[in-house]
Structure 1
Amino acid sequence: MPMTVHRYHRQTLLEGIGKEGQERLRSASVLVAGVGALGCAVADHLVRAGIGHLRLIDRDLVEPTNLQRQCLFAEDDLGSPKAIAAANRLQAINHDVQLEAVVDDLRPAVAHDMVDRCDAIADGLDNFATRFLLNDLSVKFGLPYAYGGAVGYEGTSAFLRPSPLHRQRLVTREISEAESGPCLRCLVPATPPAHLTPTCDTAGVLSPVIAVIAGLQAAALIQYLAQSAEPLPHVLTRFDARAMRMHQLDISQSQREDCSTCNKGRFAALESDHGSQATTICGRDLIQLLPPEPQPTDLDALHKRLSAHGSFERLPFLLRGTLQDELDQAKQPVGLTVFPDGRVFVHGTLDATRARAIESRWLGG
């Protein structure tokens, strides 16, 4: 029996997939945005399922702290670009899958190219600013969006199929008006403030939570792309590992009439320079990150959260300090200054991409 037949035998036995569904998977292409914990796990499932083409984009390098939860990386990968290390591992798992590694920051300038010839989007991100970029792409190009997030002992997932009202191109499988539901902006209208957005680096994450959420994302994508006859429900699923409980919220009626994206066709994230605008300060070794609009930040709450990861002081009009696990080229701790309006100074680098990565990692920007 040929490897390609034998490999997927158990999957083709499933009602709703079969040999025809397997062939559809082979013809499908998915963008995996972010190759961290969730992105690694989702990509692993998709490659093993026989998705024909995966495009992986990530700006970061593999670090020691990644190995606890990012399942595609080993110690030999330390210091390598995540997208490339992940693609190499995935290719070893399934040589029939076409893998495309992009080492870059997902931003408006490259966003359209990232979904070129893609049939779906998998969310492996750690911040809402870039998720809104994915949401714009999802609505604009009629692509289903497998949203996922995990931090601490909890994770959340939803398979979003927004209204085709503003779709601007034909896709392999069109989302009909009847099967459409809310987009991400319907559920989360604006970027949550930094003090309300814990990250894996500040709050930690239990690795099995990642596996659960990534499994939900991948299960939805595989069934959708195989064109399983059973329609997938519009639900927001929350998993609480401490309580060992799964909770689902029906979001089928959650599409907002005033949603700027799926109802009004405004793609603010795609049309902006980035989730945050990066500028240098003359004569100073730092990058200033400006949110698209003022973002009130609770500096006291942020002080409490960051103090466990460095030395920080709360001053009347700002919070400043250094991060013990982020080093500059001189091997000195990278500094952060956060203002009440959401502005951030990242000290110790003139690299805007790295500054944004640090902001995302520690502030959830």
Structure 2
Amino acid sequence: MTTMLGLSLAGRSVVFIGGGAVATRRVGRFLDEGAVVTVVAPLLDDRMRVLVDERQVSWVPRTATPEDVAGAWLVHAATAVPSVDAAVAAWCERARVFCVNTSDGAHGSARLTAETRAGDVVVAVASDAGVDPRRAGRLRDAIGAALREGTLPLRRRRKALGRVDLVGGGPGPADLMTVRGRRLLAEADVVVADRLGPTDVLADLEPDVEVIDVGKQPGHHPVPQEAINALLVAHAKAGKRVVRLKGGDPFVYGRGGEEVAACLAAGVPVDVVPGLTSAVSVPQAAGIPVTHRGVSAGVHVANGQGELSSATRAALADDATTAVFLMGVAALPRIVAAARDAGAPADRPVAIVERGHTPTQRTTWTTLVDAERDAASAGVSNPAVIVVGDVAASGLLLPDAAVVTGSGDPSR
């Protein structure tokens, strides 16, 4: 039987008998914990010698004796000679010192576990039915992946200081969120979510997590931004860990800057986790690179709501710039008019990508002169991203499996 313990080795003696490759691989784990490491061996691996030269490890350059294990808290027998490692384990048994026998783990009094970390959580895996480090390693990797992806519960049960994390959810699919974002969701007490973004991940939350749907969609904001700011601050000041879950990236037309400012003004700790912005990821889903050598040297991202700026008008007129509009379906007539007024050619390609990265994704390929007609004919609606520029030509890179063909199709 194996009893798992967490040992505090900081400032305590750990002795390695043997200075070869195995010892070198394992010594870093103990140095990271602050242990005082001594290596007893006639010869050293080159990497171990570097640690000695850097004074991270003390070296006794000779063959080990029973006296070397006396006074140690833990001994590592790693000579690569089974009979010697067994002798070291026997010395430790008599001295009542725990020993890891790297040649035969079942005949040592201690075993190293396969460990993984997620934030301040450490998970250790050991095999009780014989020594099977590969099996333990596979289990460790599976548990570690689940912890990092937020599919295992990580919420604190003790009272913690409240805080807010703005998490960019990307274009929608949960597997396009960052690992850190998924982990923070798993730790959250309160989630304040928009309707755009990875709403499927909300089903994985623990039942007592409070989910507040603020319902933000293009052109439809039922909860004012000031009220959202107040929600974040109030829940954090009540000691809750709050995740503000947004589609795309919080700082790309997500009003994340305002929410950060509100938290800082209220003295609430706040952090931002980036997400894949729809300005790049949604065109990519349709096979559209927003920059492409020989076609587009730059990209200009604009919000389709409100008046178009002079910079946006200049981008529309520039042959070497891709203009990308978020939340822009209702603004399509203004975008077309601004482009034509700025001197853009009538046949400049336009692509409208609806519901990017979802099973119902659809792309309308058209040109400036026909964009309004083709969009109306196709019944284009939000959420959608509009791309104007030569990279939006149909079939530039990848075939699109769900295409509505407008006048941008060369075969038309």
Q: Same fold, TM exceeding 0.5? A: no
Higher Rg of the two aligned structures: 2
TM-score (norm 2): 0.32
TM-score by length of 1: 0.35
Q: Which has the higher contact order (CA 8 A, sep 6+)?
A: 1
